[in-house]
Amino acid sequence: MGSQEKPRKAYEFLQKHSTSKASFTVLHLMKAAGWSKSTVQTYISKQYRDVLEARPDGTITVKAEFQRMSLEEFLQLTTQKRKIFAKYERNRFQEVVSYEFLLPLTREDLLRKALDDLFYEDAVRQRISEIGLSKLAKK
């Protein structure tokens, strides 16, 4: 099995549970990804703590924020190797609006993603579905 196969299976499993909002156990994720119990427990407690929520009954739910995580981001999170430099792809569009500002380069990737989430229809629709129309209407 390739080195990325188990994390890919874990991503698919979590993506399905994020969409269905169904809870699961450590054993379910173990079976889906093919990882050992200690590996799953380590990933849940250290790497996935921002996108998973442990419930008092011992089950786990996937937070809505997970739906915005790409497979590439998930694979970077699920690795022992950490990249020092960020990798960017240059996109070209017919119409471009350009903004300039200064920021520390260490967080530029997160800022780019946040700005993309503001300007693309699919990202805006995703956020609206995460928040819910009733909560948005109240604000």
- pLDDT tens-digit readout, 78-114: 876 666 666 667 777 777 777 776 666 777 788 888 8
**pTM confidence score:** 0.59
| Residue count (the chain) | 139
Long-range pairs of 81-88 with CB within 8 A, sequence gap ≥ 24: 88/112
CATH class of the region 1-81: mainly alpha
CATH 1.10.10.10 maps onto the chain at: 1-81
In the predicted model, residues of the chain with pLDDT beneath 70 are 1-2, 80-88, 101-104
